[in-house]
Amino acid sequence: MTMAPSSPPPPTAASSQQARPERTILRVPEHTVEVVSDSGEGAQKCAQIFGRVSAKMGNGVWTVEIIPAEIQPPARTPESASGNRIRIGTKPVTNWGDHADVVVAFNEQVLLHRHRLGALAEDAIILIEDQWATHDDPDIRKAWADAMEELGQRSYRFIHVPMEEQCLTVTDTPRRGKNMFALGLLAWIYSRDLDKIRELIAQEFRKKAQALYDSNVALLELGHRWAEEHLDFRIQVPAIEADRPRVVMNGNQALALGAIAAGMELCAMYPITPATSASHYLSDIFERFGGLVHQAEDEIAAAGVAVGASFAGKVAFAITSGPGLALKTEFIGLAVMTEIPLVVVDVQRGGPSTGLPTKVEQGDLLAALFGQPGDAPHVVLAPATMEECFLSMTTARRIAEAFRCVVIVLSDANLATGVQPFPRPEVNEQWLAQSPDLGPVREGLRPYEWDPERGLSRRVIPGQPGGMHTVTGLSHDEWSHVGYTPDVHERGCVMRSRKLAVFQQMLRPPLVHGDDAGDLLIVGWGSTLGAIEEAVDRAREEGVAVSSVHLRFLSPLEPGLKEIFRRFKKVMTVEINYSDEPNDPYITDENRRRGQLCWLLRAQTLVDIECWTRVPGEPLRPGQILQAIRGHVPQEVTR
């Protein structure tokens, strides 16, 4: 290795002429790594492989994508920051943690971005590409110097790495190869299994040329060697051999595979981030399973196609994000009215309007519940992990069919793009939907032969002799005949609503994480599960009497909540959606707009529930929640 002549010796990397440095070995239960580059430099690929190999080696893993808003943002700008955070642990990891402990940065600007967001630990070790310090362009040298000054306010430890220069020894296009070099660095630091990494690279380049694989592996090995020769520390995050086979994937892949495992036959969609990647994956594999993805002309049409297929007896779902959910509203109402089973997945992003297309928010809860004009009772289900993304599709489909109802599945950008290993699902023939009985219909069967108590009725499907009828979005009686009289309309409303009550009585109360009673109860839903429980555990270690519950069914709400709430002095929701801060100007208890689950729970339980919500466009950090817990424990107790 040669250093650029004008470059000052890197502060902590020894040059190759010297003997290998003394090494400190840091043994930790968990560690968080970030890889950030300009968009298009492949930091994401590097981080994904690092995450996967860690999962393969038995570590708990959670990865979160750092996504720029544009496809080609200008290089070397904070906006261009692209990459991943990977948190690995000895035990399962359930969220992205608080701060990055080790960072590999391809330039100082993208690093600055992470720094300004407060993403880096006070003593983070930063491996940074050092070509910019001595760049020919004085503007770049200046930018570097300014950035270093700003970064110097913290006690980060910098390690300058001549990434480009090193990569040039193997490839002519170092900009495209640095990511593998960086992977080599990390592989050495964390003692990752190189053979397993080579396998993953091979998978990655399955469809490409051998030469590409070779140069990637060469770069990997180069990075590994460089680290071995220059770094004075290694980090050990012991892994535990898993007792069950595991799979690793992101929440959208899990949803897509879950839809197949649920026997779905049609996915109707219109491209929208962050839902699209699920349909990309499905488009790739669904036809092999006898299913297909229909890309409609818009979200309304996508909903219509799903409703049509479902009306015809096939199991279909639509997948979208907030703006698309808004467009599907009328069809969802129609499916409720006609009692056509339908699963709609909403992978939430920041709103309102186009909002934050690539970033997480839990802002669609009330829209999902109440978005449809009129009374449109339906089920809303929110998976909390990647595994639950997979499993929720089967459950949702089965509920939709049993109750002839709509089920909205609320995922979010955090689940969609985050990667986590989970026990390999033991796929079961019973999960696959049964074909509907297209036999002749019993004489005199009404298309809505409502069980007067439960509102349930048997579906009649086109093709069934003797079952001919016309479903309608107009108010109708058991014969599906249009009727506007009070008795017809009210009866229809009662029957559709009753199904939800019946289902609610089949639900079990949620489990309380922590003690059954105490000072503070945190209530959450969706992707915040891991961060909330980690914060609660940390607070409990500090002696705070805090517990949490996490809801999966938001409509109908899980039973027994009031009973659970009563056992705590204070109840507070933690959510990623907007609420007014109680102390802000003009905000009073009367006009304060609260978090969405909070609003719902207050209405349903008449308990004076508090909320702590944030809309940072990124997942909540357990440390933040911990502070909120400390700040909200009822005063007389802490005093």
Partner 1 sequence: MIDQACSLLSCGPDEDREWTMADYESAAARWCPGCGDHAILTAAQRLLETEQLPPEQTVFISGIGCASRFPHYMNTYGFHGIHGRALPVAIGVKLRRPDLHVFVVMGDGDCCSIGAAHWIHTLRYNPDIVALLLDNGVYGLTKNQTSPTSPKGKASNTQPRGALLPALNPLSATLGVTNASFVAQTGDWVPAHLYATLLAAYRHRGFAFVRILQRCPQYTTDLFEGAVRDPGLIELLVHPDGVAVSELERLYKNQVRHDPADLDAARRLAEPDGKIRLGVFYRNDALPVYEETRAVPTRSHAEKLALLNTELDRHAV
Partner 2 sequence: MPSEDRAGLALDVFKKPIGAFRATLAATADEVRGYLATRQSSWEGKVARVSAELGPLAIGRIDVERFATLVEDQPDASPAALETLGGALAALGDLAGRSEQLCVVEVPAGGSLYEVVGRALAEIGRAFSAARLVSEVRAGRFEPAGGGVAAGPLPFSRWTKAERRLAPPLVVRVQGRDLRAAGLAEFLDGRQRLVLVVEGECAPAPLGRLITPGIFVLQSADGSGLDRLLAWDGPGIAALVPDSAARFAHDPSGGAAAWERLRIEFLPDRAARRAIGGLSGAQQMEELELLRSLATRPAGGETRPAGPEPADAAAGLTAADPADKLAAWLLSRVDLSDAG
Interacting residues with partner 2 between 547 and 586 (CB under 8 A): 552-553, 558
- Give burial (CB, 10 Å; 0-12/13-18/19+) of 428: exposed
In this complex, which beta carbon is closest to partner 1, that of residue 259 or of residue 615? 259
Shortest distance (Å) from residue 194 CB to partner 1: 16
Shortest distance (Å) from residue 548 CB to partner 1: 29
Helices (H), ranges, 378-432 = 386-403, 413-417
Contact indicator for 557, 506 with CB cutoff of 8 Å: no
The rounded distance, in Å, linking the Cα atoms of 179 and 46 is 5
Determine, following the binding rule CB under 8 A, whether residue 292 of this chain makes contact with partner 1.
yes
505 binds, among partner 2, partner 1, none (CB under 5 to 8 A by kind): partner 2
In this complex, which beta carbon is closest to partner 1, that of residue 225 or of residue 481? 481
Shortest distance (Å) from residue 176 CB to partner 1: 25
Query: Could you say which of 231, 282, 316, 376 contacts partner 1 (CB under 8 A)?
Result: 316
The SS3 of residue 497 is helix
Q: For 354-377, b where at least 16 C-beta lie within 10 A, e where not — what string?
A: ebbbbbbbbbbbebbbebbeeebb
Q: Which stretch binds partner 2 (CB under 8 A): 63-71, 155-163, 233-241, 504-512?
A: 504-512
Q: Which stretch binds partner 1 (CB under 8 A): 148-156, 449-457, 462-470, 536-544?
A: 462-470
Query: Could you say which of 3, 75, 148, 247 contacts partner 1 (CB under 8 A)?
Result: 247
Contact indicator for 407, 396 with CB cutoff of 8 Å: yes
511 binds, among partner 2, partner 1, none (CB under 5 to 8 A by kind): partner 2
- Tell me, residue by residue from 593 to 632, as one string, x for binding to partner 1 by CB under 8 A and - for no binding: ----------------------------------------
> Which is it for the CA torsion 622, 626, 627, 633, positive or negative?
positive
In this complex, which beta carbon is closest to partner 2, that of residue 426 or of residue 487? 426
Helices (H), ranges, 237-361 = 251-261, 276-285, 299-311, 322-338
Shortest distance (Å) from residue 418 CB to partner 2: 18
- Tell me, residue by residue from 162 to 191, as one string, x for binding to partner 1 by CB under 8 A and - for no binding: ------------------------------
The rounded distance, in Å, linking the Cα atoms of 578 and 629 is 18
Amino acid at position 616, single letter: P
In this complex, which beta carbon is closest to partner 1, that of residue 460 or of residue 574? 460
Q: Where are the extended beta strands (E) located within 185-282?
A: 233-236, 246-250, 266-269
Write the DSSP assignment of 546-602 as a string of letters: EEEEEESEEETBPTTHHHHHHTEEEEEEEESS----TTSTT--TTT----HHHHHHH
Query: Could you say which of 394, 411, 420, 596 contacts partner 2 (CB under 8 A)?
Result: 394
Residue 337: which of 329, 345, 327 has the closest Cα? 329
Determine, following the binding rule CB under 8 A, whether residue 288 of this chain makes contact with partner 1.
yes
Determine, following the binding rule CB under 8 A, whether residue 439 of this chain makes contact with partner 2.
yes
Query: Could you say which of 383, 447, 492, 556 contacts partner 2 (CB under 8 A)?
Result: 383
Shortest distance (Å) from residue 489 CB to partner 1: 16
Which residues neighbour 525 within 8 Å (Cβ) at sequence distance 6 or greater?
362, 365, 382, 384, 550, 551, 552, 554, 575, 597
Name the DSSP letter for residue 441.
Answer: P
Q: Which stretch binds partner 1 (CB under 8 A): 147-155, 434-442, 483-491, 605-613?
A: 434-442
The rounded distance, in Å, linking the Cα atoms of 349 and 326 is 13
Within 36-95, which residues bind partner 1 (CB under 8 A)? Answer: 52, 55-56
In this complex, which beta carbon is closest to partner 2, that of residue 81 or of residue 254? 254
Shortest distance (Å) from residue 397 CB to partner 2: 9
The β-bridge relationship of strands 30-38 and 100-105 is: parallel
Query: How many residues sit close enough to partner 1 to count as binding (CB under 8 A)?
Result: 74
In this complex, which beta carbon is closest to partner 2, that of residue 51 or of residue 263? 263
Determine, following the binding rule CB under 8 A, whether residue 428 of this chain makes contact with partner 2.
yes
Within 186-245, which residues bind partner 1 (CB under 8 A)? Answer: 203, 242, 245
In this complex, which beta carbon is closest to partner 2, that of residue 116 or of residue 442? 442
- Tell me, residue by residue from 236 to 275, as one string, x for binding to partner 2 by CB under 8 A and - for no binding: --------------------------x-------------
Q: Which stretch binds partner 2 (CB under 8 A): 295-303, 434-442, 514-522, 588-596?
A: 434-442
Q: Which two tokens stand for residue 5?
A: 């002549």
Residue 112: which of 164, 42, 36 has the closest Cα? 36
Q: Which stretch binds partner 1 (CB under 8 A): 36-44, 347-355, 465-473, 520-528?
A: 465-473
Distance of CA 75 to the CA centre of its chain: 27
Q: Which two tokens stand for residue 318?
A: 């639509």
Within 355-414, which residues bind partner 1 (CB under 8 A)? Answer: none
Residue 386: which of 349, 356, 425, 430 has the closest Cα? 425
The rounded distance, in Å, linking the Cα atoms of 167 and 6 is 19
The SS3 of residue 544 is coil
Amino acid at position 172, single letter: D
The SS3 of residue 534 is helix
155 binds, among partner 1, partner 2, none (CB under 5 to 8 A by kind): none
- Tell me, residue by residue from 80 to 119, as one string, x for binding to partner 2 by CB under 8 A and - for no binding: ----------------------------------------
Q: Which two tokens stand for residue 194?
A: 């190189």
In this complex, which beta carbon is closest to partner 1, that of residue 81 or of residue 441? 441
Which residues contribute to the site for partner 2 (CB under 8 A)? Answer: 262, 383, 388, 391-392, 394-395, 398-399, 402-403, 425, 428, 430-431, 434-435, 437, 439-440, 442, 454, 456, 458, 502, 505-508, 511, 552-553, 558
